[in-house]
Amino acid sequence: MPWPADAAALARAIAAQTAASRAAPSGTMGPDATGAGAAGAGAAGGGSGTGGTDEDWSGAWCWLDDWGGRSVLGLASELRVAERGREREFLAELRDAGVVSERIATGGRSGDGVSTGATPTDGVFAEEGAPQGWVVALGYEFGQALLGIDAAPDDAEPAIALRLDTALVLDHVRGVAELRGPDEAALDAWVARFERQAGESARDDSAPAGSVPSRAVSAEIAVRADGNGVIDQPELQSQPELRTRPDGGGALRGGGARGPWRKTPAAYEAEVEACRAAIRDGEAYVLCLTDTAEVSAPNVDPLTLYLELREGARGRPARGGVIVAGGRALVSASPERFLSIDGRRIATHPIKGTRPRGATPEEDARLAQELRTDPKERAENLMIVDLMRNDLSRVCAPGTVATSGFLRVETHPHVHQLVSTVEGELLPSADAIDAIEACFPGGSMTGAPKRRAVEILRDLERGPRGLYSGCFGWLGVEAGRITEAELAMTIRSVEFRGIGTLAATARVGAGGGITIDSEPGREEAEKRLKAAPLLLRLRDRR
C-alpha cells in the first residue's frame, strides 16, 4: 500500500476529517457485534449508552508512542464514554466487552506483510500480532468517583475508551509500517474506512485512483535518525527563559495578573498556605495542589502539537500520544508511568520533586544534585511511595510489594525529576481493572493520605481538573480478562474541547506537591515552569 513516507501524514489525513464528525459522542457506538470480523465487536453494552452508525464514531482515533521506537495509529472500532455516577460500571463493561472481543478475534493467517491472528499478550506495541484491547483516558474526577467523593461539576464526560482490534504499527527503528488485525476481513474494513475518511490525501500522488489494494502490506517509512527515539541525556536548554519567564510570556497574560490561569498568583500562594495549615493540623502529610490554564485554540491541531512536543523532547516520552473522540482530544507527552501490568507483574513509577534544567553543564549538574539531596523533595517522594505501596497491597499477593530504583533523578528537556518505582505481583483473582480501582487516582497527583487529600484539594481548587492528572494508555485483553496495561499519568498534557469550532479551547493543568516546608512563591513559580512549554506552543499556534 502506498503509505506516505512521512507516517505522521496518515494521522493528519484522518485528523482532517474529524471536524465532519465532531458531534460529542454519547455512550457506546459501533457496528453490530456480528460484523466484528470486519471492524471489531461493537454491540452496545450495559448502561454506557446506545449503539450508532459508523459515522457516529468515525472521529475517534489515536496515535500512541512508546520508548521502543514504535508508534500505533488506530481507528476506533468502538467508542465508549463514561456516565457520571457509573464509573465502576464503565470499567466493568470494558472488562466484559473484552470477553466478547477475545471470543471473536480467533484464527486468521499471516503472509506478505499482512499481520493477522490475535496475540493480545504481546500488546499494542508488540513486535507482531494484532492489538486486542482499549485505549483509554480516565479523568481525575473519574478517580474521585472511585473513591466515593463528590467531584467538581464538569460538562465533559469523565472518561473515554477506544477499542482497537486493527491498527497501523510504525516501527521507526526498522523503517516499516504494518497494518495488523485479527483477520483479513478486519484489515479490509480498516483500509476501506481509512480511504473513506482520508480520501485522496492519504494516497501516493502517483497512484491511480482505485489502485489501493483491498488489504494492507508492509511499507517502508523513514527511519528516525536517533535510532530508537530515545536518548539518556537531553540537550541543555539554550537559554534559561523558562526559569525567568515561566508563564510563557506576556502574550498569554490577557486576564491581568491571573493570565490564562484560574487563580491569580496571590490566590494560588494562599492555597499553598492553606495546604500547609492542613498538614500542620495533621489532616495530611503532602497535598498535590494544581491549577488550570485555559486558552482559545480554534486553529490548533492536536496531532501537530503533539509531534512538535515529541520532537522538542528529543525522543519519546514514557507514554505519549493523541487520543481524539469527536470534538474532544487529549495530547500528552508524559514522563510518568502510572501502572505497568504484564500478567501478574505490576509496577508504578511516581514522580515527586522537580528542578529546572541549567543553562550550563555545571549549573545543570548542580540542580540535579540539589534535587537528589533536598530533604523536602525526598520526603515528598517517600510519602507518595508509601501511599502507592499501600494501594498495590490491596491487589497484590502478601509479601510481594517492594520498592526499587528509589529516589533516582531522571532528566528531561526542561526539568529534572525525582522518581521511585514500586513493584508487586497481583493476586490470582485480580486483573488490571482491579488495579485501577485500587490505585486510581495516582498518589503523585493527590497526596497522602489519599482520600482526605482529595477532599481537601477539591475544596481548595473549586473546579474540575478534567483529563489532567488522570491517566491514559493501553488496556490489553487475554482470556477474557484485562491482563495487560501501560498507563501514564496525564501530565505535560493539553485537553482540547470543541475541536473544529471557533469556540475551541485548550486546557493545561500544572501544580506540585505541598509539604510543611513548601514556600508559596516557589510553588507558584514551579507550577508555571511545568506548564510553560505547552503554553508557549499554544501561543505560537493561535
**pLDDT digit string (tens) for 177-218?**
888 888 888 888 877 777 766 554 444 444 333 333 333 334
Q: Which of the following is catalytic: 352, 450, 527, 530?
A: 352
Q: Please tell me the distance from the alpha carbon of residue 200 to that of residue 179, in angstroms, as a whole number.
A: 19
Please say which residue of 155, 190, 220 terminates a domain.
Answer: 220
Check residues 232 and 198 and name the one with the higher pLDDT: 198
Mean pLDDT across the chain: 76
Q: What is the mean pLDDT of residues 99-122?
A: 37
Q: What pLDDT is attached to residue 324? A: 94
The residues facing 488 across adjacent strands are 337, 472
Are residues 339 and 204 part of one domain? no
- The x, y and z cell numbers of residue 386, run together, are 508509601
Asked whether residue 142 falls in the same domain as residue 269, the answer is no
The residue segments making up the domain with residue 104 are 8-220
Residue 529: inside a domain: yes
pLDDT tens string 151-167: 999 999 999 999 988 88
Are residues 172 and 277 part of one domain? no
pLDDT for 80 equals 95
Q: Dig out the grid coordinates for 371 from the structure.
A: 534535587
Residues 459 and 342 in one domain: yes
Q: Are residues 250 and 387 in the same domain?
A: yes
**Same domain flag for 277 and 351:** yes
Taking phi over 0 as left and psi of -120 to 50 as alpha, with beta for the rest, 326 belongs to left
Asked if residue 255 and residue 191 are part of one domain, the reply reads no
Please compute, for residue 98, the number of CA atoms within 13 A of its CA located in the half-sphere on the CB side: 27
| CA atoms of 159 and 81, how far apart (whole Å) | 6
Residue 146: φ, ψ to 5° = -60, -30
Residue 290 has pLDDT above 60, yes or no: yes
User: Which residue is catalytic, options 157, 336, 377, 495?
Assistant: 336
Q: Of 218, 134, 132, nearest to 182 (Cα)?
A: 132
- 3-state DSSP call for residue 297? coil
Are 360 and 479 in a shared domain?
yes
- Return the amino acid letter for 211: S
Q: Is residue 234 part of a domain?
A: no
Tens-place pLDDT, residues 17-56: 443 333 323 333 332 322 222 222 222 233 343 333 333 4
Q: Which helix (H) or strand (E) holds 184?
A: helix 184-198
What is the C-alpha to C-alpha distance for residues 293 and 535, in angstroms, rounded to an integer? Answer: 9
b vs e for 26-55, b when ≥16 Cβ sit within 10 Å of the residue's Cβ? bbbbbbebebbbbbbbbbbbbebbebbebe
Same structural domain, 157 and 255: no
Identity (one letter) of the amino acid at 493?
A: S
What's the CA angle centered on 389, arms 449 and 515, to 5 degrees?
Answer: 40
Tens of pLDDT, residues 248-268: 443 343 344 567 999 999 999
Q: What is the pLDDT of residue 400?
A: 97
Query: What is the structure's pLDDT at 25?
Result: 31
- Regarding whether 74 and 210 lie in a shared domain, the answer is yes
Sheet with 447-448, strands from edge to edge, namely 219-220, 176-180, 167-171, 70-75, 60-65, 319-325, 328-334, 493-497, 505-514, 286-296, 447-448
In a domain, 172, yes or no: yes
Please, which pLDDT band fits residue 326 given cuts at 50, 70 and 90? Answer: confident
What pTM, to 2 d.p., does this model score? 0.79
Asked if residue 227 is part of any domain, the answer here is no
Q: Is residue 3 part of a domain?
A: no
Q: For 401-421, how does the pLDDT look when each residue is reduced to its tens digit (9 = 90+)?
A: 999 889 999 887 778 889 999
Other beta carbons within 10 angstroms of residue 235's beta carbon come to 9
Q: Which residue has the cell 513516507?
A: 5
Q: Model confidence at 352, in pLDDT bands (50, 70, 90)?
A: confident
Which DSSP category does 343 fall into?
T
Is 204 part of any domain? Answer: yes
Whether residue 412 lies inside any domain: the answer is yes
CATH code of residue 516? 3.60.120.10
Q: CA–CA separation, 358 vs 420, rounded Å? A: 23
Judged by DSSP in three states, 7 sits in coil
DSSP states along 352-416: EEEEEPPSSHHHHHHHHHHHHH-HHHHHHHHHHHHHHHHHHHTTB-TT--EEEEEEEEEE-SSEE
- Its sign, for the CA torsion 510, 514, 520, 526, is negative
Q: Give a yes or no: residue 159 inside a domain.
A: yes
DSSP string, 220-289: E-PPPTTSSS--SSPPPPSS-HHHH-TT--GGGT-BTBTTTBSS-HHHHHHHHHHHHHHHHTTS-SEEEE
What's the structural domain count of the chain?
Answer: 2
Indicate if the pLDDT at residue 8 is higher than 60: no
Q: Is residue 72 within 8 Å of 166, Cβ to Cβ?
A: no
Positive or negative, the CA dihedral 71, 443, 139, 91 is positive
Residue 154 backbone phi and psi in degrees, to 5? -150, 145
Q: Are residues 507 and 364 in the same domain?
A: yes
* Domain end marker among 220, 249, 275: 220
What pLDDT score was predicted for residue 287? Answer: 96
| Residue 142 and residue 470 in contact, taking contact as beta carbons nearer than 8 Å | yes
Specify whether 352 is catalytic: yes
Are 367 and 469 members of one domain? yes
